[in-house]
Amino acid sequence: MSFIENIEKLEQVYLLGKESSELEALSLQLGEPAYRGRQLYHWLYTRRATDFDSMTDLARSLREQLSEIASISPVEVLTDESAEDGSYKLLFGLPDGMRVEGVMIPDGERLTVCLSSQVGCVIGCGFCATGQIGFRRNLSTAEIVGQFTALYRTVDTRITNVVMMGMGEPLLNSAEVFKAARLITDPDGLAISRRRFSISTIGWVPGIQAMQKSGLRLKLTVSLNGTTDEQRKQLMPLSSKYSLASILKAASDYAGSSKQRVTFTYLLLKGINDSLTDARRLVKLVRQIPCKINLMEYNEIGDQFQRSSIEQTEQFQETVRSAGLTVILRASRGRDIAAACGQLAGGYQPGTGSTIP
């Protein structure tokens, strides 16, 4: 559907999320030369403009026309919170009244933003607040990029890293996520390095394969969280659609084609997947794949699970490290504002889909 057809149907049009070629086509539809679209692209992504009046090298008549028929971003910042460790969490409102959250994590010279790809999530992981909401809908490219630009406006320093690890399973919304990744990593736009853009998945094999075919060469993170298919089925119900063997094969193929190490994350849960037997199985599963392992501590969302003890965590880590693998214990950030991994709920009441006042 063309831009003009959207207008005729009285559908709201957002310019964030559109590539340069689409904005050039828009300019032609409005009776302007194509290069106006490239100027518009520059204002949206390089300058990160929030209104049309600031686009001073566009004719006033064009700016007025754009303000009548389009908006820049569909994302509205509803609330923002800061954690004791310097992390930020923003609650975003979307045009249909739904909500998602995004997080900003400073770490020395690195500034990472964590973006959402869906409202809720269909995977149903018991240890994740998003999984308890249920699935509502996919986010559009404009809504994903809109989170990025809104987070960018909250700080004076440059964002260095992007992780698609917020609400949702990114590879179940791969078309919109990949398009957002192209825009965010465009050197002539938002200019995040592709090697600093990571997509996290529970192991959605068709999505990993699509990511490989896309040629984007983004970083791949796979959440294992178990060393047997039975463990993963217990912890992440929908993940059982694909076996560990098929997931590891897809991850290995991706590492080979992208020439990058895969990151495997492993959430340690007391008495469930944190035994030394699990540690040794984990080594056997991934040792032939170019990878690193991030061990994660559980961030409480209820009383169904418990965090592994410090002693057990250290023994698990040492067992993996002694096998010659790179293994890092990732520190939880933003726990005091429910911004840590597994805690994002977007202001929804778990299990009901309704928003918390």
The residues that are catalytic are: 101, 341
> Quick one: tokens of 51?
């209104």
Residue type, 91: L
Could you give the angle at the alpha carbon of 169 between the alpha carbons of 213 and 348, nearest 5°?
155
Q: How far is Cα of residue 275 from the mean position of the Cα atoms in its chain?
A: 30
Cα separation, 162 vs 196, in Å, equals 6
Contact of 260 with 271, CB cutoff 8 Å:
no
> Quick one: tokens of 116?
């959402």
Contact of 148 with 139, CB cutoff 8 Å:
no
> Quick one: tokens of 10?
């009285």
Cα separation, 94 vs 188, in Å, equals 27
Cα separation, 88 vs 43, in Å, equals 26
> Quick one: tokens of 95?
């045009």
Cα separation, 353 vs 330, in Å, equals 30
What is the C-alpha R_g of the chain? Answer: 21
Instruction: Quickly list DSSP for 194-242.
Output: GGGEEEEES--HHHHHHHHHHT---EEEEE---SSHHHHHHHSGGGGGS
Residue 150 CB contacts under 8 Å (≥ 6 apart), including other chains = 73, 75, 77, 90, 92, 102
Backbone angles phi, psi at 163, to 5 degrees: -125, 130
Cα separation, 232 vs 243, in Å, equals 9
Cα separation, 80 vs 90, in Å, equals 4
